[in-house]
Amino acid sequence: MNEEVEKYLQDILDSLVLIEQFTTGVTSFYQYRDNLMMKAAVERKQLSAKQ
């Protein structure tokens, strides 16, 4: 696997780990939806993983 692909996959993994940390304790979609700070952080990490 080339270095660029490895870096891309590591970025995705790092983002997923952070999203998991951000959402620890969330038991419903409504808790996520109503917490604007958490929602912004998760969505930002989703976008950064796509780039």
Q: What is the pLDDT of residue 45?
A: 83
Cα–chain center distance at 36: 15
Q: What is the pLDDT of residue 51?
A: 65
- How many CB atoms lie under 10 A from the CB of residue 43? 11
Instruction: State the pTM of this model.
Output: 0.76
Q: What is the pLDDT along the chain (51 residues), one digit of tens a residue?
A: 899 999 999 999 999 999 999 999 999 999 999 999 999 999 888 777 666
